[in-house]
Amino acid sequence: MKILVSDPLSEEGLAILRDSGIPVDVKPGLSEDELCAIIGDYDGLVIRSGTKVTKKVIEASNHLRVIGRAGVGVDNVDIPAATEKGVLVMNTPSANILSAAEHTCAMILAAARNIPQAHESMHKGEWKRSKFSGIELNGKTLGIIGVGRVG
C-alpha cells in the first residue's frame, strides 16, 4: 500500500499517515497529466481543494482504493467515476468547524466596530475616527443562530 498526498498538508497530518507505516509521497502542484502518469502506483490519494480528481485521473489509476479530501466537500472529485471504479471517496466534514466559528466571531466584531467601513475610508486617505467607532458588545446580549456543526 502507498499513499500520494497531492496538496499541501500540515506536518501533523503527514505524521499521522507516516506513523501508520504506510509509505507516503507528498507531491503538491501536479497537473492533471502529471497526476495521471503516477496515480497508478498508489492505493490512496489525499487531496485538498487544489487537486481536481477527474474521470481521466481515476481511469488512469490501477490500485486506487480511496480518495481522502482533507477538508469539507468533494466537489473537486468525479464521484460517479470513482463509484464506477469502486474507489471510496471521503472527506473531513468537521475539519473547519473551529476556523468557521472563529471567523464568525471576527465578523461580528468587525461589524460592531465598523471595521470594513473604516478600512475603506482609510484607503481613501480619510481619517474619520468618530464616524467609525461602532458599538461595544460589553453588557449586550449576543446570539448566534446557525445550522449544522458551526452554529
What pLDDT sits at residue 98?
86
Identity of residue 9: L
Query: Other CB atoms closer than 10 Å to residue 17's CB: what's the count?
Result: 18
Listed in sequence order, the DSSP H helices in the chain are 11-19, 32-38, 55-60, 79-85, 97-112, 115-123
Percent of the chain with pLDDT over 70: 100
What pLDDT sits at residue 37?
98
- Per the CB < 8 A criterion, the answer to whether 3 and 22 are in contact is yes
**Span 73-114, pLDDT tens digits:** 899 999 999 999 999 999 998 888 888 889 989 999 999 999
Q: How far apart are CA 24 and CA 26, in angstroms?
A: 7
What pLDDT sits at residue 143?
82
- Please list the residues that pair with 4 across neighbouring strands: 25, 45
What pLDDT sits at residue 146?
78
What is the mean pLDDT of the segment spanning 144-148?
A: 79
* Confidence label for 128 from pLDDT (cuts 50, 70 and 90): confident
pLDDT at 148 over 80: no
C-alpha distances in Å from residue 80, one per residue of 50, 72, 84, 87, 121: 20, 18, 6, 10, 49
Q: How far apart are CA 84 and CA 93, in angstroms?
A: 23
Of residues 130 and 68, which shows the higher confidence score?
Answer: 68
Chain centroid to CA 34: 22
Q: How far apart are CA 59 and CA 84, in angstroms?
A: 10
Hey, what domains does the chain have and what are their CATH numbers? 3-91 (3.40.50.720), 96-151 (no CATH)
